[in-house]
Chains A and B, each alone.
Chain A
Amino acid sequence: MASLNLLIGVCLVYVAVLFAVAFAAERLAVRGNSHWLGSPLIYTLSLSIYCTAWTFYGAVGYAARSGLEYLTIYIGPSLVMVGWLWGVRKMVRIGRSQRITSIADLLSSRYGKSNLLAIFVTVLAVIGTTPYIALQLQSVTLSFAAFAATDPSVAMPDDSNLTALWVAAGLAFFTVLFGTRNLDANERHHGVVTAIALEAVVKLVALLAVGIFVVWGVGGGVAETMARIDASSLGHWEMASGRWSGLIFLSAAAFLCLPRMFQVLVVENDDESHLRTAVWAFPGYLMLMSLFVMPIAVTGLAMLPEGSNPDLFVLTVPLAEGRTGLAMLSFLGGFSSATSMVIVASIALSTMVSNHVVMPIWLRINGTGAMVSGDVRHVVMLARRLSIVGVLLLGYLYYRVSGGGTALAAIGLISFSGVAQILPALLGGLFWRGATRLGALCGLAVGFALWLWCLFLPSFGADVIVPARVLAEGPFGLAGLRPQALFGIEGIDPLVHGVLWSMLFNACTFFAVSTFTFPSPMERLQGAQFVNVFAHSNTPRGWQGGVAQSEDLMIMSQRILGAGQAQALFRNAAQQQGLPGYLPEPTAEFLQLLEREMSGSVGAATAHAMVSQIVGGASVSVEDLMAVADETAQMMEYSSQLEAKSDELIRTARQLRAANEKLTQLSVQKDAFLSQISHELRTPMTSIRAFSEILRDTDGLTVEERGRYSSIIHDEAIRLTRLLDDLLDLSVLENGQVSLNIRQGRLDEVLDRAVAAVLQGGGIALRRDRAAEAILLETDIDRLSQVFINLIANARKYCDAAQPSLTIAVRQRDRVVTVDFIDNGSGIASDAQEVIFEKFSRIGEGKAGGAGLGLAICREIMTRLYGTVAYLPGQGGAAFRVTLPARALMAAQ
Chain B
Amino acid sequence: MGRNILVIEDEPNISEAIGFILSRDGWRVATHANGVDAADAVRSRRPDLVILDVMLPGRSGYDILKELRADAGTADLPVLMLTARGQAKDREMAATAGASRFMTKPFSNAEVLEAVRDLVRE
By a CB distance below 8 angstroms, the chain A residues around B110 are 693
Our pick among B12, B16, B109 for the contact of A697 (Cβ within 8 Å) is B109
CB of B26 within 8 Å of the partner chain: no
Which residues from 6 to 46 on chain B have a C-beta closer than 8 Å to any C-beta of chain A?
10-14, 16-18, 20-21, 24, 33-34
**Smallest distance from the beta carbon of A116 to chain B beta carbons, Å?**
80
Our pick among A678, A685, A688, A846 for the contact of B57 (Cβ within 8 Å) is A846
Given A679-B84, A716-B13, A845-B58; A686-B34 close (CB under 8 Å):
no
Q: Report whether A689 and B14 are in contact in the complex, using a CB–CB cutoff of 8 Å.
A: no
Q: Report whether B21 and A686 are in contact in the complex, using a CB–CB cutoff of 8 Å.
A: no
When chains A and B are docked, how far (Å) is the Cα of A72 from the Cα of B86?
Answer: 105
Q: Report whether A683 and B84 are in contact in the complex, using a CB–CB cutoff of 8 Å.
A: yes
Q: Is the interface of B mostly helix, strand, loop or mixed?
A: loop
By a CB distance below 8 angstroms, the chain B residues around A688 are 106
By a CB distance below 8 angstroms, the chain A residues around B11 are 683, 686-687, 848
Given A675-B87, A694-B17; A846-B107 close (CB under 8 Å):
no
By a CB distance below 8 angstroms, the chain A residues around B20 are 694
Q: Is the interface of A mostly helix, strand, loop or mixed?
A: helix
Which residues from 337 to 375 on chain A have a C-beta closer than 8 Å to any C-beta of chain B?
none
Q: Which A residue sits closest to B108, measured CB to CB?
A: A693
Q: Report whether A683 and B105 are in contact in the complex, using a CB–CB cutoff of 8 Å.
A: yes
Our pick among B10, B14, B24, B87 for the contact of A686 (Cβ within 8 Å) is B14
When chains A and B are docked, how far (Å) is the Cα of A697 from the Cα of B24?
Answer: 11
Q: Report whether A685 and B24 are in contact in the complex, using a CB–CB cutoff of 8 Å.
A: no
**Smallest distance from the beta carbon of A230 to chain B beta carbons, Å?**
118
CB of A815 within 8 Å of the partner chain: no
**Smallest distance from the beta carbon of A531 to chain B beta carbons, Å?**
70
Q: Which A residue sits closest to B112, measured CB to CB?
A: A690
Which residues from 676 to 718 on chain A have a C-beta closer than 8 Å to any C-beta of chain B?
678-680, 682-683, 685-691, 693-694, 697-698, 712, 715-716
Given A678-B86, A682-B84, A682-B106; A690-B34 close (CB under 8 Å):
no
Given A679-B85, A845-B34, A846-B10; A690-B57 close (CB under 8 Å):
no
Q: Which A residue sits closest to B90, measured CB to CB?
A: A675
Our pick among A682, A687, A690, A716 for the contact of B21 (Cβ within 8 Å) is A690
Our pick among B33, B58, B84, B107 for the contact of A689 (Cβ within 8 Å) is B107
Q: Report whether B87 and A693 are in contact in the complex, using a CB–CB cutoff of 8 Å.
A: no
**Smallest distance from the beta carbon of A860 to chain B beta carbons, Å?**
25
Q: Report whether A694 and B21 are in contact in the complex, using a CB–CB cutoff of 8 Å.
A: yes
Q: Report whether B14 and A683 are in contact in the complex, using a CB–CB cutoff of 8 Å.
A: yes
Q: Which A residue sits closest to B86, measured CB to CB?
A: A678
* Number of A-B contacts defined by CB within 8 Å: 69
What class of interface size applies to chain A in its complex with B? 20 to 34
CB of B97 within 8 Å of the partner chain: no
Which residues from 841 to 857 on chain A have a C-beta closer than 8 Å to any C-beta of chain B?
845-846, 848
Q: Which B residue sits closest to A674, measured CB to CB?
A: B87
**Smallest distance from the beta carbon of A268 to chain B beta carbons, Å?**
85
When chains A and B are docked, how far (Å) is the Cα of A76 from the Cα of B102?
Answer: 107
Q: Report whether B57 and A845 are in contact in the complex, using a CB–CB cutoff of 8 Å.
A: yes
Q: Report whether A690 and B106 are in contact in the complex, using a CB–CB cutoff of 8 Å.
A: yes
CB of B119 within 8 Å of the partner chain: no
**Smallest distance from the beta carbon of A527 to chain B beta carbons, Å?**
69
By a CB distance below 8 angstroms, the chain B residues around A678 are 84-87
By a CB distance below 8 angstroms, the chain B residues around A697 are 109
Given A678-B86, A694-B17, A712-B13; A686-B106 close (CB under 8 Å):
yes
Given A675-B87, A845-B34; A685-B105 close (CB under 8 Å):
yes
Q: Which A residue sits closest to B109, measured CB to CB?
A: A693
CB of B55 within 8 Å of the partner chain: yes
A-contact bits for B91-110, CB 8 A (1 contact / 0 none) = 00000000000001111111
By a CB distance below 8 angstroms, the chain B residues around A716 are 13
**Smallest distance from the beta carbon of A222 to chain B beta carbons, Å?**
115
Given A685-B106, A846-B34; A675-B17 close (CB under 8 Å):
no
By a CB distance below 8 angstroms, the chain A residues around B18 are 690
Q: Report whether A846 and B84 are in contact in the complex, using a CB–CB cutoff of 8 Å.
A: no
When chains A and B are docked, how far (Å) is the Cα of A498 from the Cα of B17?
Answer: 123
Q: Which B residue sits closest to A685, measured CB to CB?
A: B106
By a CB distance below 8 angstroms, the chain A residues around B34 are 845-846
By a beta-carbon cutoff of 8 Å, the part of chain B in contact with chain A is 10-14, 16-18, 20-21, 24, 33-34, 55, 57-58, 84-87, 104-110
By a beta-carbon cutoff of 8 Å, the part of chain A in contact with chain B is 675, 678-680, 682-683, 685-691, 693-694, 697-698, 712, 715-716, 845-846, 848
Top 9 closest pairs, chain A to chain B, by CB: A690-B17, A682-B84, A687-B13, A686-B105, A686-B106, A689-B106, A679-B84, A685-B106, A693-B109
29 contacts between A and B (CB under 8 A): A675-B87, A678-B84, A678-B86, A678-B87, A679-B55, A679-B84, A682-B84, A682-B85, A682-B86, A682-B105, A682-B106, A683-B105, A685-B105, A685-B106, A686-B84, A686-B107, A688-B106, A689-B107, A691-B13, A693-B110, A694-B20, A694-B21, A697-B109, A712-B13, A712-B16, A845-B34, A845-B57, A846-B10, A848-B12
Known: A678-B84, A685-B105, A715-B13. 14 other contacts (CB 8 A): A675-B85, A682-B86, A682-B104, A683-B14, A686-B11, A686-B14, A686-B105, A687-B17, A689-B108, A690-B18, A690-B21, A691-B13, A691-B17, A845-B57
